[in-house]
Amino acid sequence: MLAIDAAAYRSPWRRHHPAAKALLAGGLLGCALVLPPWPGAPVTAAITLAVALGWARVPPRTLLRAARTPLGFALTGSLTFLVTVGPDGLGWADGGVRRAADVVARCTAALLCQLLFAGTTPLADTLPRLTRLGLPVTLVEVAALIYRMLFVVLDTTRRIRDAQAGRLGTRSLRAAWRSLGGLGSAVFIRSFDRARRLEAGLAGRGYTGSLSVAVAEIPLKTRFLATAPLPAALAILTTLTLQSLP
């Protein structure tokens, strides 16, 4: 199990309805996307981080591990704003630093909002309720199967990498590349075989196009639902106040 999933199952917010948590995280996400990047994005990121660490009690290490790879992509992609290609060749872009900072700020704030929801709400609590919003049952079930197969692929990858390391498959760069190729092919074959067996198992159990699962009833109208919009309202008011300052 991924660390972010384990944190979601242990979260003190587990007893709250996913819709209420989606309202809270979605409101903050809207602030990250709509408010001006400066100071809107830093303010939203700071409030989201305070909510995640203080109110939701998401482990800081788990939050950092889940955020580092997406932030790496954002930082790498923002570097393209720093340069421009013209008749004279490659050069520094006018205003590139500001545009890169805007992108990184918005991405950081938006990512923290999504991790707030992911770190407090297991996907198993969310997917069965999506059909009540009008989403096709087939789409929801495909998403659930992909989520389940993700852990199978990760576990298979880990086992194969451990076996390759035990056989000195990474002793040199050439051996590491050869092991990487073998890892990719083995993971593909085993995942395809696991998916085929899963399909055969569903057919043997009389699958008719929908999987019936038990969904725990969680009350929606609670005090938490009433307080969910407050972080987004605080972000909006703080941003407007900072903008009005000389």
pLDDT digits (tens, 9 = 90+) for 81-131: 888 887 777 778 888 889 999 999 999 999 999 999 999 998 888 887 887
* 202 pLDDT tier (thresholds 50, 70, 90): confident
CA nearest to 115, candidates 146, 162, 70: 70
Strand 83-86 and strand 89-92: the pairing is antiparallel
Q: Is residue 51 part of a domain?
A: yes
- 222 and 142 co-located in one domain: no
**Which residue has tokens 């019936």?**
212
Q: Is residue 21 part of a domain?
A: yes
* 214 pLDDT tier (thresholds 50, 70, 90): low
Question: Which residue type does 207 have?
Answer: Y
> Is pLDDT at 1 greater than 70 in this prediction?
no
Q: Which domain holds residue 134?
A: 129-204
pLDDT per position as a tens digit, 10-35: 999 988 988 899 999 999 999 999 99
Question: Which residue type does 226 have?
Answer: A
Q: Is residue 185 part of a domain?
A: yes
Q: Is residue 176 part of a domain?
A: yes
- 226 and 106 co-located in one domain: yes
71 vs 206, which has greater pLDDT?
71
- 142 and 86 co-located in one domain: no
Number of domains in the chain: 2
pLDDT per position as a tens digit, 164-199: 888 877 788 888 888 888 888 888 888 888 888 887
Beta strands in the chain (DSSP E): 83-86, 89-92
> Is pLDDT at 241 greater than 70 in this prediction?
yes
Considering all CA atoms of the chain, what is the largest pairwise distance in Å, rounded to the nearest integer? 70
Statement: the pTM of the whole predicted model exceeds 0.75: yes
